[in-house]
């Protein structure tokens, strides 16, 4: 963070996903509980944490007086990925077959919002927001909008990785 806060300008782009809205709460003490690990649930929680991290990082940067570095999160869209393997072979086949013609994006299309946030002058100065399809999106999860929860997760993360 010290190097980021000294930067004249910069953009932090954090990939999240729409599935973050499936999480109705985070219990920090059980985040790394191996006994309760479920792949899809862990994925959803990690994507919620990404949104929360962008919001809290924005708050901290602004509190330090840095108004030029931005941190935003995004939903890239749905496309075939390793995550789908946890659904089982039948669901995987159905989703990738039907989804390819309905909701799924190509990897190239999925990268567009990341590129938009990194490069577009349209988002210069916008920070702490969640985007989808190169536009501001509503954060579906009430947890993602909870400033105290964002701060607590950020503090927990600093301790978990030994930075505090």
Of the listed 43, 92, 101, 154, which one is catalytic? 43
Q: What is the DSSP string of the chain?
A: -HHHHH-SSEEEEEE--GGGGG-----GGGTT-GGG--HHHHHHHHHHHHHHHHHHHHHHHHHTT--SEEEEEEE--B---GGGGGG-HHHHHHHHHHHTTTTB--HHHHTHHHHHHHH-GGGTT--S-EEETTEE-----TGGG-HHHHHHHHHHHHHHTT--
| Residue 43: active-site member | yes
- Residues with catalytic function: 43
């Amino acid at each position: 963070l010290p190097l980021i806060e000294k930067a004249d300008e910069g953009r932090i782009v954090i990939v999240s996903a729409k599935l973050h809205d499936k999480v109705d709460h985070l219990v920090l003490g059980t985040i790394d509980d191996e006994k309760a690990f479920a792949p899809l649930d862990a994925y959803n929680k990690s994507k919620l944490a990404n949104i929360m991290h962008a919001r809290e990082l924005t708050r901290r940067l602004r509190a330090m007086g840095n108004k030029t570095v931005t941190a935003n999160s995004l939903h890239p869209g749905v496309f075939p990925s390793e995550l789908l393997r946890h659904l089982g072979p039948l669901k995987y086949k159905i989703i990738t077959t039907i989804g390819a013609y309905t909701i799924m994006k190509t990897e190239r299309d999925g990268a567009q919002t990341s590129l938009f946030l990194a490069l577009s002058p349209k988002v210069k100065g916008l920070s702490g927001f969640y985007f989808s399809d190169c536009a501001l999106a509503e954060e579906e999860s009430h947890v993602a909008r909870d400033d105290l929860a964002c701060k607590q997760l950020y503090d927990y993360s600093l301790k978990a990785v030994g930075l505090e």
